[in-house]
With several copies, the nearest count.
Chain A
Amino acid sequence: MTERKTPLLDELETGPWPSFVREIKKSAKSPMVQDLLGQLERSYQEKIGHWKHGGLVGVKGYGGGVIGRYNDLPQEFPEVSEFHTVRVNQPSGWFYTSDALRTLCDIWGRHGSGLTNMHGSTGDIVFLGAKTAELEPIFSELTQAGFDLGGSGSDMRTPSCCAGPARCEWACYDTMNFTYDITQAFQDELHRPAFPYKFKIKAAGCPNDCVASVARSDLALIGTWRDAIQIDPAAVRAYAQDGKLDIQRDVAGRCPTQCISWDAKAQALAIDDENCVKCMHCINAMPKALSPGKDRGATVLVGAKAPIVEGALLASVLVPFVKMEAPYDDIKELLNAMWELWSEHGKNRERIGEFIQRIGLGNFLEQIGLDPAPEMVTQPRTNPYIYYDLN
């Protein structure tokens, strides 16, 4: 098998940032990867991709987890004429042991291109480039090793979360456990697409939202607290004395609700917690002195998505505060109620965020049995087009 010439790609092997081209070449003993290099070089020359849709592929009994991929140059690059993606459900918080990693490498080395994404944008381990015939063997070896596939298509997508309590002092609930629990609880919804469209869940331990849940998940659980921010006055003074931080300008001055008052003389910081919107800024700026309150839980938001079809949406508040305790029954009930309504009345390829806007948030709440709360909106309606219900 002749080494492919890839002059354009080769230019991407230089420079300080680790090179994906070098990565591809590391696996170049695989004939699939040889053809991939060839096809990719061709794309770089022609400024156009060479992949196309194709028949759905997958593993027995699952509707999701594999993305079928075919090329439009099967003659030139036969080894990538089938080049499917296998999505493997990552462990909570993307924690691994070296053994676990090696196990995955062994399986993927035997049956595929040897190329991966660690990780996909949704959070899965992505095996990049498998032939149809290899899918079942990959699956059975994965399950033997204790791994399972992730989601794709109109199903519950692989939930993901931040490191949370495993590696962060600000976690207001156990993101790792919640994500594991919910993923196990909804295996059927994950593997067998039955929704109008995809449904993503992301769990962030605090309002810093290190998994971008507010932008990228149909259901976002963002840790927060109800009581007062914990202040360590001694540590506050330490920050003041150390002097690197301008507490008035950069902490109090940047509080979105201006609810912090800084007494420079006394070197004391006071917070009007009633007006604190739990943005995290002051805590971020003074991690040794401030921390979230003790009465912790999460704000539940719904409906984030990318632009297709009606335009991108950020998630919006559905439950201002919920305690997050295993087995998370209230969240599971909420999910079931939402899924039932959406599955019955949602249009094909209508994300739940678009669905809510179409039927109206007020009606949506009524249907799933939640009370309207002013926390759900930035302001009450301004237009007088009210559907008074006199019946």
Chain B
Amino acid sequence: MAAEPTKRKTDIGPPNYEKFLPPIIKENYGKWKYHENPRPGVLVHVAESGARLYTVRAATPRLMSIETLRLFAAIADEFCGGYLRFTSRNNVEFLLADEGRVDPLVARLRKEGYPVGGTGPGITNIVHTQGWVHCHSAASDASGVVKSLMDALFPHFERMDLPAKVRVAFACCLNMCGAVHCSDIAVLAVHRKPPKINHERLAKTCEIPSTVAACPTGAIRPATVDGKQSIQVIEEQCMFCGNCFTVCPSMTMADPENDGISIWVGGKVSNARHEPMFSKLAIPYLPNNPPRWPEVVDAVKNLVDVYARNGRPFERMGEWIERIGWPKFFKLTGIPFTKYHIDDFRHAGESFRRSAHVRQTPEG
């Protein structure tokens, strides 16, 4: 057991990053000239000084045991003086000054089950969330869907064989902790039934005004149910967002039969070429089918395959769809266009085609 601290420390903030930077980075900090991506998962950053920094990027499941972190630490000690980092998409990166150690490191990581890749025009780690592993709000599991998807998409992690980066993200409810809303392919778990209200507990557990205010569509009204102060939900006005549940535990959304997964496409974050874009609805619903969600995996693979065949170099999925038009997208992917695809929230009208610019379908 660690000795109890003499005085309780607070508000010290994170450690200063400088302590964690390898010498080659300290020396060339802010003085990088260009980079190369000689092979998937390996980056070389060349400094004005001529110094060359090698980065080896390996996959992680994000949910990791401390045993794995100790393993990474040991590998870092063995190959690169103990210096490593994680990426904004939860991969791990080892930082080497010595080119000769790159191949052995790549081999070692693969052997340990943490394959190297994820750079360039391909598919990297899936930003995701807690799911059934830890969150009360989840309409599906996160880790399981991600594992199933990455097993299927794995060739694109190890190869840079797509027109451009394809960013895939997963969120297990509309809170979108994975910030899936601007991804090339967003996998979003959804509820499809109004909240079940526990009128017994509601008054005790929930603040009624804030519960009413939580509803984006105003579907919640205060009500007295058999004597008790409670609320009622106008079911036709409910679009199952679950925001009421977030503020009021006595309104549960989860429903084994009807929860499932929706798929969204064509979002992006970078400013490269096209401005950042939201993802748009491609498939309104697929069933929850653990442990491997085959319907979801097939749907995502289909999207990636169609894009791979039709996209042009540098063209992100959303840019490709804008070029060919949405009617063609639905035709190529074989996805039916339904009333669910037409926006009907606040700014719906902004998405209507307000011109005669129509790609016409020749007769027959």
Partners in one complex: yes
User: What is the predominant secondary structure among interface residues of chain B facing chain A?
Assistant: loop
Q: Which of A180, A383, A384 has the most CB of B within 10 A?
A: A384
Chain A residues whose C-beta falls within 8 Å of the C-beta of B278 in the assembled complex: 312, 314, 382
Chain B 241-276 interface residues, beta-carbon cutoff 8 Å to A:
241, 243, 246-247, 249, 254-256, 258-259, 262, 264, 266, 269-276
Chain B residues whose C-beta falls within 8 Å of the C-beta of A310 in the assembled complex: 216, 346
Whether A146 sits at the interface, judged by CB under 8 Å, is yes
Chain A to chain B: the 3 pairs with minimum beta-carbon distance, closest first: A362-B339, A360-B344, A15-B151
Chain A residues whose C-beta falls within 8 Å of the C-beta of B210 in the assembled complex: 348-349
A23 touches B63 (CB 8 A): yes
Which listed residue (B77, B213, B270, B280) contacts A380, Cβ 8 A?
A: B280
B5 touches A143 (CB 8 A): yes
B159 to chain A, nearest CB (A): 12
Chain A residues whose C-beta falls within 8 Å of the C-beta of B177 in the assembled complex: 121, 306
In the bound complex, how far is the Cα of B215 from the Cα of A244, in angstroms?
54
Chain A residues whose C-beta falls within 8 Å of the C-beta of B64 in the assembled complex: 23, 115-118
Mind listing 10 A-B residue pairs with CB under 8 Å? A95-B84, A121-B127, A187-B11, A225-B360, A275-B359, A306-B176, A308-B175, A377-B326, A382-B281, A388-B239
Which listed residue (A97, A98, A372) contacts B341, Cβ 8 A?
A: A372
Whether A268 sits at the interface, judged by CB under 8 Å, is no
Q: Mark A75-110, 1 if CB is under 8 A from B, else 0.
A: 000000001010001111111111111101101111
Chain A 285-343 interface residues, beta-carbon cutoff 8 Å to B:
285, 287-288, 291, 295, 299, 301, 306-317, 320-321
Q: Mark B313-347, 1 if CB is under 8 A from A, else 0.
A: 11000000000111101100000011111111111
Whether A48 sits at the interface, judged by CB under 8 Å, is yes
In the bound complex, how far is the Cα of B22 from the Cα of A166, in angstroms?
10
Q: Residue on A with the closest CB to B128?
A: A121
A116 touches B69 (CB 8 A): yes
Chain A residues whose C-beta falls within 8 Å of the C-beta of B69 in the assembled complex: 101-102, 104-105, 116, 118
A49 touches B358 (CB 8 A): no
With A49-B136, A101-B73: A214-B276 Cβ-Cβ less than 8 Å:
yes
B342 touches A69 (CB 8 A): no
Chain A residues whose C-beta falls within 8 Å of the C-beta of B34 in the assembled complex: 169, 287-288, 291
Whether B290 sits at the interface, judged by CB under 8 Å, is yes
Chain B residues whose C-beta falls within 8 Å of the C-beta of A100 in the assembled complex: 15, 19-20
Whether B160 sits at the interface, judged by CB under 8 Å, is no
Which listed residue (A115, A167, A357) contacts B55, Cβ 8 A?
A: A167
Chain B residues whose C-beta falls within 8 Å of the C-beta of A58 in the assembled complex: none
A307 touches B45 (CB 8 A): no
Whether B25 sits at the interface, judged by CB under 8 Å, is yes
Whether A47 sits at the interface, judged by CB under 8 Å, is yes
A128 touches B17 (CB 8 A): no
In the bound complex, how far is the Cα of B315 from the Cα of A250, in angstroms?
9
With A216-B179, A277-B359: A49-B29 Cβ-Cβ less than 8 Å:
no
Chain A 177-235 interface residues, beta-carbon cutoff 8 Å to B:
180, 183-184, 187-188, 190-191, 207-212, 214-216, 222, 224-227
With A18-B60, A378-B351, A380-B282: A277-B362 Cβ-Cβ less than 8 Å:
no
Whether B217 sits at the interface, judged by CB under 8 Å, is yes
In the bound complex, how far is the Cα of B84 from the Cα of A363, in angstroms?
46
Chain A residues whose C-beta falls within 8 Å of the C-beta of B92 in the assembled complex: 118
With A83-B134, A118-B64, A372-B339: A147-B241 Cβ-Cβ less than 8 Å:
no
B360 touches A320 (CB 8 A): yes
B273 touches A254 (CB 8 A): yes
With A222-B356, A381-B280: A362-B344 Cβ-Cβ less than 8 Å:
yes
A147 touches B15 (CB 8 A): yes
Which listed residue (B76, B279, B357) contacts A277, Cβ 8 A?
A: B357
B151 touches A16 (CB 8 A): yes
